[in-house]
Amino acid sequence: MTKFENHSNYNCEITLDTGQQYLVYANWIHNNNLDQWTGWLCSAGNTRFLIDKDFEIYSGECKNDHLGNVLTDWNTKTNTLCKKNTCGGCTDDLLTEKSKNA
């Protein structure tokens, strides 16, 4: 039996290498140590940003990449390559699309 199963309360979709899909809750991903995507492509930097108190912009809550400053110059980033050990800093970052097919 697989540890994957559909959750009645979900906010994420996981697709396995086999193509099988599961609807799960983001915290479940973190709680089961499945949030380890170092080297994977992530849509943070294109669909998710963090702006800190100094108006610095980063790709996601994890601050994977610095994108610039709101008051000067910044650009979105496509094909963000994850540099973090886990994606557990913020549930919202878990909601961004990820792919291991670089």
Rounded to whole angstroms, the Cα distance separating 30 from 88 reads 6
| pTM reported for the whole predicted model | 0.80
**48 SS3 class:** strand
Whether 1 has a pLDDT exceeding 60, the answer reads: no
Q: In this predicted model, what pLDDT tens digit does every residue of 10-63 receive, in sequence order?
A: 999 999 889 999 999 988 888 888 888 899 999 988 988 999 999 999 998 889
Half-sphere exposure of 97 (CA within 13 A, CB side): 7
Rounded to 10 degrees, the C-alpha dihedral 87/100/26/5 comes to: -140
Token output for 74: 């910044």
Q: Residue ranges per domain, the chain?
A: 1-34, 37-97
Per-residue model confidence (pLDDT) at position 89: 61
More confident residue, 75 or 91: 75
